[in-house]
Structure 1
């Protein structure tokens, strides 16, 4: 118990350091001077950056690497060539966390990028930061029709009926499974497990000396999804949607269902623990070391192409005694800076609109595996042809569109989500070492509550 308390104190100190680095309400910062205020006012009246051709140039900070970066660069180039007023310059800034750290140092100043990509769990922080201009302003001024976009993606980034950022790279979890292994185990390869009990049973049938039945990355996002699909809240105040959350509630019946589900298979030896690295669990699946696992919908194409067997895709499982509520959107959205020149904001808005067109969303969907935020993209011929080749893609779209809109499937809003996810990682690691499911969940809630308390005090 003493070790546990000491660990909590260390965690609390760490959270305080993180919050000092990730909030613009730094309690130790020097008080604002008149010069500072004048500087900010000047920043709000900045002249637009214009290149030698007389076009307004804006920076677009993003965290896409590999194929995602290549696709994004091509999309920006297409936008730049499609009109003669604006130039968008994509700039890779590292991981989501690295990008947000860099943004904190210049957010709200004339040096801030006009456009930035921030992961979904940074939503609450961005809204509270004072750095951003809600895109709802431009939607209203332009009469932009939001009904053309996917409702269950818009829901996450909408608060009190206002859209703060434009959804961009969006994904959900999906259950992938080895159809060949199902056949060999005498299971129907066209009937994937639907409930926790189904997965537990199938895992016992699929387990061999070389293959585990099921695995899940040790990552908080998957826990959040398995919680939400049962209708479980993550924090109070209606998942932080009705007001600032003050405590976590994920250690209730729904959260315990998830931990007992994993604990059962772990104790039976049918669960494969491949840690926290996406590459490791994906390699385990494609090499036949595990028959079923949960992945991001954006990982489907790679799973199919790298596996020497037929890959099935299905909705994520849910507890037996509840109905399926659906999934929470993951990924990231695009935010517009506040205090930059009007022309730069307009350039950012025009690029956002370009990104949401069916043609561009079809390309993005096929290049990366992320959802098209404009469902009309799925009617494009290139998408229909790809879906004929990879019907697994349509499973993820169906799962998203079958999701029931609610504060549960909107996802929780808390500014300390990264810290809370780490609490879940620790809880899962302890669970796999034999700890009691309820105990480790309670400890994760207590750690999250401490982080929330510090954040709320800091923001005051």
Structure 2
């Protein structure tokens, strides 16, 4: 039986290496989806044929994700007696993406996967995906926030459905703001304010040893994502919308990288050298840094573990506000039986009903992917009690598609490597970006 793989992926390497944190309206919202459950097929005249779907996904943020997925699978099975969901935990983003690619190349395609939304062009290059445009109604697809749809489409064709999606937001410690003489209800709104706030929030002893940093922005894993945010704040994105061009060496990107570098190397308000993606939230929670840039997917973890009052705000603006979207989409694979495709679509419908999207956002911190989710009583009440949960949704007005190209794993890896070389002081911003552009052009030339 074909496998159903749902991978919550933020994997950074795809193909040779992988790279790099929705619902429409249903009967619980306003519009019924166009697809239906797979028809029960009879064996021996009276026994319905069952479909077993293996559900693979990685876990990239803090929180009890595996328990949540187990519970969703059980709830789905209660409503669909002939469809069995077998959750399988694929490890890291990299591990799970590698498993999917290996299965596709081995002619044993998974059924469904939660993969990074940015994996679109690489999966299309492999001819691995089932087109989803005819599987769902326009009304269903229109229920998603438009900012999340950019990485789901090629032209007007829909290839995946938003699931666990995110943007980058700024977290800040309100108690540290008070101690530094800053208004705890006013986060920095510009780059200049961010630099000035961070200087006031950096604490060091007479020997110069820092006990509290003003800000931390990760420099491993998703540094390209952080730089993309800074570039968007300069006015433009860093790639075309057809997966064939990147703009790494443009002035707005260099300006963003230089600011990123200066926070540690010049302003001394951020640790110099490597800042690990996974440890930044821990540093914030433990009081080692007063502010951090990180995915809204860690919001619930911070809410649960932080022993202090904290705020969440838009990323500060340069010429404008801006953040790329992030996170994973649900993909259905092409080379599987029709009954598996229908079962996969039914599972997607289940996962993207407004109440479930709302609960997933509450439980994880990911942004609710549909407008209908924010109309549910449970999410309205949650936001009323915890207004920080609405910041990422509001920032979608200024959000843009995440970096996604053909050979996306290779492009992202080379970009990450060159950015990190600049952040640790090995090369200049200009050198890092010119090198990235030359390498990316060489890879993408066959797709133009």
Shift of 1:92: 2.0
Verify: 1:98 aligned to 2:102, yes or no.
Answer: no
Does structure 1 residue 152 correspond to structure 2 residue 147?
Answer: yes
Deviations 1:260-318 (A, max 9, x none): 21233221211224735333212222222211110100112222332232111111123
1:264 aligns with 2:262: yes
Partner of 1:89: 86
Cα deviation, 1:233-282, whole Å, max 9, x if unaligned, reads 323xxx142xx524x31221211221221233221211224735333212
Query: Using the alignment, how far apart are the partners of 1:220 and 1:153 within structure 2?
Result: 19
**72 and 273 in structure 1: CA distance in 2 versus 1, 3 angstrom threshold:** farther
Partner of 2:10: none
Q: Is the 8 A contact 1:148 1:374 kept in 2?
A: yes
1:430 corresponds to which of 421, 426, 442: 421
Judge conservation of contact 1:274–1:280 (CA < 8 Å) in 2: no
TM-score (norm 1): 0.79
Compared CA separation, residues 59 and 110, structure 1 to 2 (3 A)? farther
Structure 1 residue corresponding to 2:351, chosen from 338, 355, 360: 355
Does the Cα contact within 8 Å between 1:150 and 1:373 map onto a contact in 2?
yes
* Partner SS for 1:213: coil
The equivalent of 1:80 in structure 2 is 77
Is 2:110 the counterpart of 1:118? no
Provide the C-alpha distance between the structure 2 equivalents of 1:393 and 1:379, rounded to a whole number of angstroms: 14
Structure (1/2) with the larger helix percentage: 1
- Alignment match, 1:203: 198
Structure 1: runs of 5 or more not aligned = 1-16, 23-46
d(CA) in 1 for partners of 2:345, 2:414: 37
Q: Does 1:341 align with 2:328?
A: no
Distance 1:254 1:116 in 2: 35
1:442 is aligned to 2:434: yes
Q: What is residue 311 of structure 2 aligned with on the other side?
A: 312
Displacement after TM superposition at 1:227 (Å): 1.6
Alignment-derived partner of residue 56 in structure 2: 61
Distance 1:305 1:62, change over 3 A: closer
After TM superposition, the structure 1 = structure 2 runs for residues 311-330 of structure 1, keeping only pairs within 5 Å, are 311-319=310-318, 322-324=319-321, 326-330=322-326
Is the contact between residue 59 and residue 89 of structure 1 (CA under 8 Å) also seen in structure 2? yes
Distance 2:277 2:199 in 1: 24
On the 8 A contact 2:52/2:85 being kept in 1, the answer is yes
Pick one of 405, 415, 426 that aligns with 1:414. Answer: 405
Aligned pair 1:370/2:369, yes or no? Answer: no
> 1:251 is matched with which residue: 245, 249, 252?
249
- Asked whether the 8 Å contact 1:233–1:250 carries over to 2, the reply is no
Describe the SS at the equivalent of 1:181. helix
Q: Which moved more, 1:333-342 or 1:411-420?
A: 411-420
Q: Matched residues in 2 for 1:301 and 1:307: separation?
A: 10
Aligned position for 1:39 = none
Partners in 2 of 1:110 and 1:82 — Cα distance?
31
Rate the CA distance shift 1:397–1:137 in 2: closer, same or farther, 3 A.
Answer: same
Partner Cα separation in structure 2 for residue 181 and residue 229 of structure 1: 26
CA shift at 1:109, angstroms? 6.8
Q: Equivalences for 1:24-63 in 2 at 5 Å?
A: 54-63=49-58
CA gap 1:20/1:410 in 2 versus in 1, 3 angstroms: closer
Q: Deviations over 1:122-146 (max 9, x none)?
A: 1111122111111112125xx6522
Decide whether the 8 Å contact of 1:121 with 1:418 is kept in 2: no
Native 8 Å contact 1:251 1:441 kept in 2: yes
TM-score (normalizing by structure 2):
0.81
Q: Which residue of 1 aligns with 2:216?
A: 215
Contact 2:326 2:402 in 1 (8 A): no
Aligned residue pairs, count: 399
How far off its partner does 1:341 sit?
1.5
**What SS is found at the alignment partner of 1:156?**
helix
- State how far apart, in whole Å, the 1-side matches of 2:354 and 2:14 are: 39
Distance 1:131 1:73 in 2: 27
**Residues 226 and 317 in structure 1, CA contact (< 8 A), matched pair in contact too:** no
